[in-house]
C-alpha cells in the first residue's frame, strides 16, 4: 500500500485511528525500498526527514530498529528483493515545551514542499523524480497541508513554522488548491463539484495501468488550443480528486469526477477542465464547461483541527518556570527557560525520569533548592534523550536557564526496556535455542544477527 499511495499519505490517513495504548501498532510494508539501498535511506527519503525527526513531524516512532545492522538490507545482486514490514507506534507528546522555528525543521519541511508542489510535467521530458516508484508521485498540496496542520495540532500552535517554509507552495498553478485547503481548514464553506466523464474518454481512463498518475487542470478555454502551455496564474492544478468508473458488460459507464473548490472561484464561464497523464502529457478527458457540473456543499470537517495546548499554570504569586524556546535539530534539543523568581535562587538540579540500566528518558525535571517553595517543573519530549549527556547553564543575572539535551540516537527507547525478571527469561530462552542448534549440528553464528535485519 505504501508504494502505491506514498508512505506519508498512508501515515497521515492511519495515525488518527491509532490508539494511545502502548500495545497499539501500525504496520506498513514496501517492496521498492531497494531503490535507496537500505530501509533506513528509504524511510528518510519518502518522509523527507531523518529518523530522529519523525516523532516531531509525524507524531510516530519506529518500533522496528531498521537502523541496526549493515546499510544494505540484502544482497542487491540477488533479485528479487524481499518485502520489508515496518512497525510504528505513537510517539510521546511534548509537554510544557514551546517549539521554535529551527533551520533543521524548516529544511525538512521545504524538502517535503518541493515534492508536494511539483508542477513539472510531462515526466518523459522533465525526468522521473526519485521515489516515484515508492508513491511519492502522489504527494500533493493536501499532503503538505495535512503534515503541517497535524504538527500544529500536536504542538499547540504554528509558532515553530517559518513564513518562508512554504516557498515552493507559491507556484501560481497551486494557488487555487492552497486557498481551498486553507478555507477548509478554517471551517469555511467548501463546494464539491461533480461532472460526468465523456464516454469517449472512459476507455482511455480504464487503460491506464496501475495507479493512474493524472492531474486535473483548470485552464482558460482560449488557452486549450495549445495543449502544451500550462503556464500562467490563470491555469490551476488540482491533484486531489475522485474518479469513479463503473464497469458493465457493455463497457465503462457512469464515469464521473469530483473535486473541491472554494465558492467564489469565478471560473464558471471562462475555464474548462482537462485530465492529463503527467507521465507523457496526453489528455485523458476534456470537460467543455463548468456550467454543466453538479455543485453541492462539502459537509466533512478538516481532519486536523488546531488545538491549544495549555502549559502548567503557576500558582498566583508563586515562583515558576516558563520555556521561552526549544530549537530541535537532528541530534539535539536546545532550550531557553525563563526562571521567574522574586528572590535569589541556588541549587539547580536536573532530574531524569529513567530506570537503570536504561540510558535514555523522555522526561526531565528542573528543581531549585532555594527558594524552598519552588515547585519542580517537568518537560517531556517525543524523542528520548541521553540521561548523562546534557549541558545546563544558569545565568543568575537574567535568570535564564539554557539546556542542551542530546538525543539517544543509538540507545533503546525507555518503552523497550525490559525489567530484570524478563531479561532472565530472555537469556534462558536464548541459551536453550543455542544448545538446540548445536544438537542439530547447525552453526549458531548463522542465526546470531538474523533478528537485527
Stretch among 39-43, 217-221, 280-284, 395-399 having the lowest mean pLDDT:
395-399
Helix, strand or coil for residue 270? coil
Question: Does 168 have pLDDT greater than 50?
Answer: no
**pTM of structure:** 0.85
Average pLDDT over residues 280-302: 84
pLDDT for res 308? 62
Per-residue cell: 161 = 513554522
Question: Does 272 have pLDDT greater than 70?
Answer: yes
pLDDT for res 453? 33
List CB contacts of 406: < 8 A, sequence separation 6 or more.
331, 332, 385, 386, 389, 390
Helix, strand or coil for residue 313? coil
Higher pLDDT, 233 or 116: 116
Burial code (b: 16+ CB inside 10 Å, e: under 16) for 67-105 equals bebeeebeeeeeeebeebebebbbbbbbebbbbbbbebb
How many Cβ atoms sit within 10 Å of the Cβ of residue 346?
Answer: 10
pLDDT for res 267? 84
Rounded to 5, what percent of the chain is helix, strand, coil? 30, 30, 40
Mean of per-residue pLDDT scores for the chain: 80
Higher pLDDT, 368 or 449: 368
Question: Does 406 have pLDDT greater than 80?
Answer: yes
Higher pLDDT, 50 or 1: 50
CB 162 within 8 A of CB 108: no
Higher pLDDT, 79 or 352: 352
Question: Does 412 have pLDDT greater than 60?
Answer: yes
CB 261 within 8 A of CB 241: no
Q: State the distance between the two ends of the chain, measured CA to CA, in whole angstroms.
A: 21
**Of the ranges 30-39, 204-213, 432-441, the best mean pLDDT one:** 30-39
Q: How far apart are CA 48 and CA 213, in angstroms?
A: 21
Q: Do strands 251-261 and 271-277 pair parallel, antiparallel, or not at all (unpaired)?
A: unpaired
pLDDT for res 231? 76
Query: What's 222's DSSP letter?
Result: G
pLDDT for res 336? 94
Q: Above pLDDT 90, what percent of the chain? A: 37
Average pLDDT over residues 71-99: 76
Confidence category of residue 269, pLDDT binned at 50, 70, 90: confident
Query: Using one digit for the tens of pLDDT, what is the confidence trace for 324-372?
Result: 999 999 999 999 998 876 566 566 788 888 787 889 999 998 877 666 6
Average pLDDT over residues 244-263: 78
Per-residue cell: 318 = 508563586
pLDDT for res 302? 94
Stretch among 235-244, 305-314, 327-336 having the lowest mean pLDDT:
305-314
Question: Does 443 have pLDDT greater than 80?
Answer: no
pLDDT for res 73? 47
Query: Using one digit for the tens of pLDDT, what is the confidence trace for 189-202?
Result: 999 999 888 776 77
Higher pLDDT, 394 or 419: 394
Confidence category of residue 448, pLDDT binned at 50, 70, 90: very low
Question: Does 78 have pLDDT greater than 70?
Answer: no
Question: Which CA distances in Å does 86 have to 24, 39, 450?
Answer: 14, 9, 16
Outline where DSSP puts E strands in 262-407: 271-277, 283-287, 294-297, 320-328, 332-340, 346-352, 360-370, 377-395, 400-407
The radius of gyration computed from the CA coordinates of the chain, to the nearest angstrom, equals 27
Question: Does 116 have pLDDT greater than 70?
Answer: yes
Question: Which CA distances in Å does 205 have to 211, 296, 297?
Answer: 11, 25, 27
pLDDT for res 27? 93
Bond prior to 371 in cis (omega within 30° of 0): yes
Query: Which helix (H) or strand (E) covers residue 105, if one does?
Result: helix 103-116
Q: Report DSSP letters for 147-164, one per residue.
A: HHHHHHHHHTSSTT--GG
Taking each helix axis from N to C end, the angle separating 7-15 and 39-46, rounded to the nearest 10 degrees, works out to 70
Bond prior to 349 in cis (omega within 30° of 0): no
Outline where DSSP puts E strands in 183-222: 191-196, 214-220
Amino acid at each position: 500500500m505504501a508504494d502505491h499511495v506514498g508512505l506519508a499519505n498512508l501515515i497521515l490517513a492511519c495515525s488518527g485511528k491509532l490508539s494511545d495504548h502502548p500495545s497499539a501498532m501500525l504496520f506498513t510494508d514496501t517492496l521498492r525500498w531497494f531503490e535507496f539501498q537500505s530501509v533506513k535511506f528509504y524511510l528518510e527519503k519518502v518522509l523527507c526527514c531523518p529518523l530522529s525527526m519523525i516523532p516531531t513531524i509525524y507524531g510516530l516512532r519506529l518500533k522496528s530498529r531498521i537502523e541496526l545492522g549493515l546499510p544494505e538490507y540484502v544482497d542487491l545482486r540477488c533479485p528479487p528483493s524481499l518485502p520489508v514490514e515496518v512497525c510504528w507506534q505513537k510517539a510521546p507528546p511534548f509537554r510544557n515545551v514551546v517549539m521554535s522555528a529551527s533551520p533543521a525543521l524548516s529544511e525538512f519541511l521545504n524538502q517535503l514542499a518541493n515534492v508536494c508542489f511539483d508542477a513539472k510535467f510531462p515526466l518523459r521530458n522533465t525526468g522521473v523524480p526519485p521515489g516515484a516508484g515508492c508513491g511519492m508521485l502522489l504527494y500533493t498540496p493536501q499532503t503538505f497541508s495535512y503534515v503541517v496542520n497535524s504538527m500544529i495540532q500536536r504542538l499547540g500552535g504554528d509558532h515553530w513554522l517559518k513564513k518562508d517554509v512554504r516557498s515552493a507552495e507559491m507556484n501560481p498553478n497551486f494557488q487555487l488548491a492552497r486557498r481551498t485547503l486553507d478555507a477548509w481548514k478554517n471551517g469555511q464553506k467548501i463546494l464539491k463539484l461533480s461532472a460526468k466523464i465523456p464516454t469517449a474518454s472512459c476507455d482511455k481512463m480504464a487503460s491506464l495501468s496501475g495507479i493512474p498518475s493524472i492531474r486535473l487542470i483548470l485552464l482558460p478555454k482560449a488557452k486549450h488550443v495549445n495543449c502544451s502551455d500550462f503556464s500562467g496564474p490563470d491555469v490551476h492544478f488540482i491533484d486531489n480528486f475522485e474518479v469513479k468508473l463503473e464497469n458493465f458488460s457493455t463497457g465503462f459507464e457512469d464515469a464521473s469526477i469530483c473535486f473541491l473548490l472554494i465558492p467564489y472561484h469565478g471560473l464558471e464561464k471562462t475555464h474548462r477542465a482537462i485530465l492529463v497523464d503527467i507521465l507523457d502529457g496526453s489528455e485523458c478527458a476534456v470537460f467543455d464547461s463548468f456550467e454543466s457540473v453538479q455543485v453541492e456543499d462539502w459537509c466533512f470537517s478538516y481532519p486536523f483541527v488546531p488545538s491549544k495546548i495549555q502549559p502548567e499554570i503557576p500558582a498566583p504569586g508563586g515562583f515558576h518556570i516558563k520555556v521561552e524556546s526549544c530549537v530541535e535539530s537532528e541530534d539535539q534539543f536546545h532550550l531557553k527557560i525563563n526562571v521567574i523568581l522574586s528572590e535569589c535562587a541556588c541549587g539547580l538540579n536536573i532530574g531524569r525520569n529513567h530506570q537503570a540500566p536504561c540510558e535514555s528518558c523522555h522526561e526531565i525535571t528542573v528543581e531549585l533548592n532555594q527558594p524552598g517553595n519552588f515547585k519542580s517543573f517537568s518537560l517531556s519530549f517525543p524523542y528520548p534523550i541521553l540521561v548523562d549527556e546534557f549541558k545546563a547553564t544558569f545565568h543568575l543575572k537574567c535568570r535564564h536557564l539554557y539546556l542542551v539535551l542530546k538525543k539517544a540516537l543509538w540507545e533503546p527507547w525507555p518503552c523497550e526496556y525490559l525489567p530484570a525478571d524478563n531479561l532472565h527469561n530472555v537469556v534462558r530462552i536464548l541459551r536453550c535455542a543455542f544448545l538446540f542448534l548445536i544438537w542439530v549440528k547447525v552453526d549458531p553464528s548463522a542465526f546470531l544477527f538474523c533478528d537485527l535485519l
